[in-house]
C-alpha cells in the first residue's frame, strides 16, 4: 500500500479547466493559455494536485474542441505551442501536474485525413475511417447524441458512401482496425508527453472498434488496443496517468483497468447521479447499492469520481424510472434536459444551498477514488440553460465583480459567451475575490475540505465498509488503511437525525472530527449515540494511539 500511496494520482484531486472559459489574457474574448498560467497560483491555493485541460487543439468547434482538426497544434485562440510548454513548466514549478484530453475515437470532418479520405477512395487515408455503402451495418449500436443525431451513419456526397460516427456527424470515427491509425495515435501521445505533460484523460474509449452483432461498446479488440497504448506509454515514460472516460457500469469499467495493464484510472460514472438522488431523498440507499456493484480494482489503479463536469449530468447509468425521477426533481423545465441528462451546474442543482454543495462534496470525498472539481463549482457558479448544447455550464470563470467578472478586458459583446449576470448567481455576488476573503464562503470551506481530504490518503485509497444504522438518512462509512481508521458520518437529510452505533471495538477512543477539530465523547462498550444536525458530516478519526 505504501508503494500505492506514492503513485501521485492515487490520492490526487483533479481540477477540470476549460481554457476558453478561464482567463483571457489578450482581450479577444476567449480564455487562453497565458490566462490560465496567470491563475495557477489560485489553483495551487485551492489545494488540488492536477489540472485537466479540455481539448485545446485546432478545431472548427462543432463540439467545443472534441472535434480535432490537427493533433499537433493549438487552436489559435488559446496560444502557441510555446505557451503550452510554459503552462506545463509553470504548473510543475508549483507542484501541479497537467493532463490533456486525448480524443482517440474520432476526428473533425475538417481534419486533413478525412478531407483526403472522402475525396480519394484510393488514398491510404480512406481506410482511416469507417465506410459503408449502406446504413445497415452495426445497427445494434445506440445513438449517444439523441437530441441531434438520427443515425450513426451519415452519407458523404463526395465519397459516395456512408461514414460511421458515434457522436456528431461532424466527428467521423477513426478505424482502429487499421494499424496505421493506431500508430498515428501513439505519435500524437508521444508529441504531447515529450512536452512534459503528466498523462491523458482519454475520451470516449468504449467505442474504438465496431463489430457486427454487438452494441460496439467495450469490445475485446478495443481493450487490446488500449493495452498496447498503455504498454508503449510505460516503455517510454514514467509516472504518467491514463484516465478512461467510459460511461459504463462499474463491472464494465473494471475491464478498462485490465490486470493493471490498461488504464491507471477510470471515471466512476454511476455513483454520480446517486449522490444527487441520495441528497434529494435524504436516503443513503442508492450509494450503498452502487458501491455494492463496484468491483475491486487492481493495485495501483484508482477510480476518478466527480459531481459535475463540462457535459450534461449524464443519466445513462440509471434505470428509466430513476431517470424520470431525476429529471422531475432536478430538471423540471424541459430546457434543462439534454440527451439523457441535465445541463445544469452543481450549485443550481443544490438550490444554491452551500450546506448541500459541501455535503455532496464531502460524500464524494468519503468514498474511495480521486475526485475532480469542475472549474467554477468551487465558488458555486450558476449556469445558463438558454445557451446551446452544453455551453450553459461552460460560462466564463467569475473572478471578481468588475466588468466581465474579471475574465476578460474585451468589450462584453466580444466574449465567446456571456458571463452570468442574473439573480443570485450573478458574478457581482458569486466570485473568487469576494469568497477569498470570507472564511465562511463556499470557496473557503471547499479549500478546507480539499486540504483535509489530501492530508488523509486513507480516504482515497483505504478500504471501506458501510456500518449498519437503523436510520436510512445517515450514511456511515468506515475507512481503513493499515492501522488508521476514519469513520465518515453524513446526515443526508434536512432534519436532525440521531443514530446509535456499536463502536465497541474502539472502546476507550475519543474520536476527533478531522474537519472541525471537535472531540467526541470517549467510546464505551455501550452503543454510541450521535446527534447529527441537518445536512452535516463528520470525519471521525478512530485511530488508536499505539
Ligand atoms: C466525451 C466528452 C464530450 C464530447 C464527446 C465526444 O463524452 O466529454 O464533451 O462531446 O466525448 O467527443
Q: What does the DSSP assignment read for 78-125?
A: T--HHHHHHHHHHHHHTT-EEEEEEE-SB--TTSHHHHHHHH-TTSTT
Per-residue pLDDT of 185-208, as tens digits, reads 999 999 999 999 999 999 999 999
Which residue's CA is minimally distant from atom 4 of ligand 1? 66
283 Cα to the center of ligand 1, angstroms: 31
At 503, list the grid cell.
Answer: 463502536
57 Cα to the center of ligand 1, angstroms: 14
Q: How far is residue 109's CA from residue 96's CA, in Å, rounded to a whole number?
A: 35
Q: Does the Cβ of 389 fall within 6 Å of ligand 1?
A: no
With DSSP H G I counted as helix, E B as strand and the rest as coil, what are the percentages for the chain, rounded to 5?
Answer: 35, 15, 50
Query: Given the CA of residue 67, which atom of ligand 1 is nearest to it?
Result: 12
Alpha-helix residue ranges (DSSP H) falling in 194-306: 220-236, 250-254, 271-281, 285-292
Q: Which residues are part of the catalytic machinery? A: 203, 245
Per-residue pLDDT of 234-268, as tens digits, reads 999 999 999 999 999 999 999 999 999 999 999 99
161 SS3 class: strand
Chain centroid to Cα 62, Å, comes to 21
Which residue's CA is minimally distant from atom 2 of ligand 1? 203
Q: Does the Cβ of 217 fall within 6 Å of ligand 1?
A: no
526 Cα to the center of ligand 1, angstroms: 53
Instruction: Please tell me whether the overall predicted TM-score, pTM, comes out greater than 0.95 for this model.
Output: yes
Q: Does the Cβ of 203 fall within 6 Å of ligand 1?
A: yes
pLDDT at residue number 2? 52
Average per-residue pLDDT in the chain? 97
* Strands in 315-378 per DSSP E: 337-338, 341-342, 370-374
Per-residue pLDDT of 260-319, as tens digits, reads 999 999 999 999 999 999 999 999 999 999 999 999 999 999 999 999 999 999 999 999
> What DSSP state is assigned to residue 174?
B
144 Cα to the center of ligand 1, angstroms: 10
Query: Given the CA of residue 309, which atom of ligand 1 is nearest to it?
Result: 8
At 141, list the grid cell.
Answer: 449500436
Residue among 14, 4, 543, 542 nearest 267 (CA): 14
173 Cα to the center of ligand 1, angstroms: 13
> What DSSP state is assigned to residue 20?
H
Q: What is the pLDDT along the chain (546 residues), one digit of tens a residue?
A: 455 557 999 999 999 999 999 999 999 999 999 999 999 999 999 999 999 999 999 999 999 999 999 999 999 999 999 999 999 999 999 999 999 999 999 999 999 999 999 999 999 999 999 999 999 999 999 999 999 999 999 999 999 999 999 999 999 999 999 999 999 999 999 999 999 999 999 999 999 999 999 999 999 999 999 999 999 999 999 999 999 999 999 999 999 999 999 999 999 999 999 999 999 999 999 999 999 999 999 999 999 999 999 999 999 999 999 999 999 999 999 999 999 999 999 999 999 999 999 999 999 999 999 999 999 999 999 999 999 999 999 999 999 999 999 999 999 999 999 999 999 999 999 999 999 999 999 999 999 999 999 999 999 999 999 998 889 999 999 999 999 999 999 999 999 999 999 999 999 999 999 999 999 999 999 999 999 999 999 999 998 765
Q: Does the Cβ of 407 fall within 6 Å of ligand 1?
A: no
Q: Does the Cβ of 311 fall within 6 Å of ligand 1?
A: yes
Q: Are strands 265-267 and 302-306 parallel, antiparallel or unpaired?
A: parallel
Q: What percent of the chain has pLDDT over 70?
A: 99
Q: Does the Cβ of 66 fall within 6 Å of ligand 1?
A: yes
Give every CB contact of residue 240 below 8 A, 6+ residues apart in sequence: 193, 198, 199, 200, 233
Which residue's CA is minimally distant from atom 8 of ligand 1? 311
Give every CB contact of residue 107 below 8 A, 6+ residues apart in sequence: 67, 68, 69, 113, 114, 171, 172, 174
38 Cα to the center of ligand 1, angstroms: 27
Q: Are strands 313-314 and 341-342 parallel, antiparallel or unpaired?
A: antiparallel
Per-residue pLDDT of 309-366, as tens digits, reads 999 999 999 999 999 999 999 999 999 999 999 999 999 999 999 999 999 999 999 9
Q: How far is residue 358's CA from residue 448's CA, in Å, rounded to a whole number?
A: 11
Q: Are strands 474-481 and 463-466 parallel, antiparallel or unpaired?
A: antiparallel
Which residue's CA is minimally distant from atom 9 of ligand 1? 311
Q: Is the dihedral of CA 20, 377, 108, 87 positive or negative?
A: positive
Amino acid at each position: 500500500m505504501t508503494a500505492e500511496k506514492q503513485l501521485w494520482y492515487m490520492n490526487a484531486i483533479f481540477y477540470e479547466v476549460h481554457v476558453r472559459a478561464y482567463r483571457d489574457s489578450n482581450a479577444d474574448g476567449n480564455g487562453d493559455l497565458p490566462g490560465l498560467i496567470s491563475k495557477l497560483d489560485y489553483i495551487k491555493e485551492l489545494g488540488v494536485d492536477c489540472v485537466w485541460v479540455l481539448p485545446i487543439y485546432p478545431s472548427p468547434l462543432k463540439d467545443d474542441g472534441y472535434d480535432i482538426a490537427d493533433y499537433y497544434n493549438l487552436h489559435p485562440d488559446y496560444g502557441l505551442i510555446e505557451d503550452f510548454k510554459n503552462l506545463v513548466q509553470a504548473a510543475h514549478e508549483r507542484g501541479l501536474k497537467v493532463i490533456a484530453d486525448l480524443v482517440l475515437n474520432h476526428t473533425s470532418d475538417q481534419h486533413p485525413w478525412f478531407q483526403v479520405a472522402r475525396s480519394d477512395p484510393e488514398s491510404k487515408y480512406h481506410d482511416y475511417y469507417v465506410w459503408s455503402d449502406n446504413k445497415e451495418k452495426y445497427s445494434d449500436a445506440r445513438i449517444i447524441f439523441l437530441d441531434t443525431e438520427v443515425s450513426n451513419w451519415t452519407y458523404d456526397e463526395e465519397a459516395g458512401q456512408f461514414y460511421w460516427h458515434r457522436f456528431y456527424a461532424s466527428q467521423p470515427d477513426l478505424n482502429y482496425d487499421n494499424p496505421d491509425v493506431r500508430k498515428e495515435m501513439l505519435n500524437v501521445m508521444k508529441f504531447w508527453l515529450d512536452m512534459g505533460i503528466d498523462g491523458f484523460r482519454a475520451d470516449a474509449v468504449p467505442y474504438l472498434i465496431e463489430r457486427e452483432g454487438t452494441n460496439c461498446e467495450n469490445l475485446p479488440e478495443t481493450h487490446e488496443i488500449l493495452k498496447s497504448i498503455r504498454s508503449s506509454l510505460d516503455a517510454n515514460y514514467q509516472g504518467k496517468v491514463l484516465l478512461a472516460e467510459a460511461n459504463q457500469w462499474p463491472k464494465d469499467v473494471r475491464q478498462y483497468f485490465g490486470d493493471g495493464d490498461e488504464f491507471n484510472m477510470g471515471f466512476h460514472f454511476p455513483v454520480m447521479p446517486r449522490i444527487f438522488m441520495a441528497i434529494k431523498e435524504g436516503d443513503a440507499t442508492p450509494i450503498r447499492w452502487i458501491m455494492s456493484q463496484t468491483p475491486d480494482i487492481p493495485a495501483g489503479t484508482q477510480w476518478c469520481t466527480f459531481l459535475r463536469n463540462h457535459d450534461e449530468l449524464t443519466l445513462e447509468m440509471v434505470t428509466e424510472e430513476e431517470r424520470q425521477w431525476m429529471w422531475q426533481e432536478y430538471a423540471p423545465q424541459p430546457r434543462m434536459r439534454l440527451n439523457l441528462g441535465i445541463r445544469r451546474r452543481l450549485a443550481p442543482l443544490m438550490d444554491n444551498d452551500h450546506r448541500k454543495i459541501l455535503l455532496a462534496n464531502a460524500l464524494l470525498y468519503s468514498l474511495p477514488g480521486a475526485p475532480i472539481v469542475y472549474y467554477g463549482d468551487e465558488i458555486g457558479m450558476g449556469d445558463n440553460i438558454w445557451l446551446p448544447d452544453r455551453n450553459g455550464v461552460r460560462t466564463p470563470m467569475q473572478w471578481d465583480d468588475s466588468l466581465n467578472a474579471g475574465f476578460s478586458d474585451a468589450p462584453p459583446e466580444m466574449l465567446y459567451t456571456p458571463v452570468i449576470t442574473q439573480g443570485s448567481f450573478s458574478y457581482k455576488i458569486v466570485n473568487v475575490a469576494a469568497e477569498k476573503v470570507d472564511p465562511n464562503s463556499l470557496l473557503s470551506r471547499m479549500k478546507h475540505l480539499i486540504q483535509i481530504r489530501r492530508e488523509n490518503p486513507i480516504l482515497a485509497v483505504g478500504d471501506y465498509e458501510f456500518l449498519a444504522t437503523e436510520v436510512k438518512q445517515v450514511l456511515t462509512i468506515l475507512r481503513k488503511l493499515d492501522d488508521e481508521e476514519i469513520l465518515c458520518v453524513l446526515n443526508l437529510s434536512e432534519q436532525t437525525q440521531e443514530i446509535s452505533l456499536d463502536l465497541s471495538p474502539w472502546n476507550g477512543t475519543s474520536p476527533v472530527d478531522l474537519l472541525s477539530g471537535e472531540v467526541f465523547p470517549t467510546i464505551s462498550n455501550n452503543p454510541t449515540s450521535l446527534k447529527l444536525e441537518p445536512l452535516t458530516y463528520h470525519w471521525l478519526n478512530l485511530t488508536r494511539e499505539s
